[in-house]
Amino acid sequence: MGLFDGLEDSFVDVVEFGVGLPANTYEAMVSDVTTEQKDSGLYLVITYAVTAGPMKGKTHKEFQKMVVGRATTEKDQKTLQFIKTRLLSLGIPADRQNTVEPDDIVGVEVAITLVPQKDKPQYNNISRVVLINQSSTPVLALPKSASVPSTSDAGTKVDPFA
């Protein structure tokens, strides 16, 4: 007698499970930003949660090795360039990137495009991140602790990044 003798399986569709989200473009929201220590170094991890369509609720994590200390090699400089470009695509201006906090990015609505990796086509990487709605960016990426000047302060210049 087999383990599944007696089960009626003719009405059940077989579901093939791949590795992560299939290659496509998805509406998503940044749901988490963390760092993760691996054997090969420290990584910035940005998690995107799909917000629409049949994959709604599924997530995709983007890992980028971080540079610790000065970027002295060309590879380190390319890594920093990628991170800076990603932060720009998430609505964080260049003058705020050194002080950005995870809460400044979590909740940002984007469209992500996933494409197969060249050497491992069963895995998909993010090839593009585009803001869906400019109003979803964190108030021009002001720090969460910054206060917006009231209209009574309109005559005085306030630098919210100072």
Res. 128: pLDDT tops 90: yes
Q: What is the CATH number of the domain that holds 66?
A: 2.40.50
Point out the least confidently predicted range of 26-30, 95-99, 145-149: 145-149
Is 156 part of any domain?
Answer: no
Is 114 part of any domain?
Answer: yes
Burial class from Cβ neighbours inside 10 Å (0-12, 13-18, 19+) for residue 152 reads exposed
Q: What would the pLDDT profile of 30-71 be if each residue is shown by its tens digit?
A: 999 999 999 988 999 999 999 999 999 999 999 999 888 887
Q: Please state the pTM of the whole predicted model.
A: 0.71
Is 44 part of any domain?
Answer: yes
Is 72 part of any domain?
Answer: yes
Cα separation of 14 and 38, whole Å?
36
Is 34 part of any domain?
Answer: yes
Q: What would the pLDDT profile of 84-93 be if each residue is shown by its tens digit?
A: 999 999 999 9
Of 67-76, 85-94, 135-144, highest mean pLDDT: 85-94
What mean pLDDT is predicted for residues 127-151? 56
- How many domains are contained in the chain? 1
Domain boundaries, position 69: 24-134
Is 158 part of any domain?
Answer: no
pLDDT value for 12: 54
Closest to 114 in 3D by CA, of 40, 61, 64: 61
Is 130 part of any domain?
Answer: yes
Is 47 part of any domain?
Answer: yes
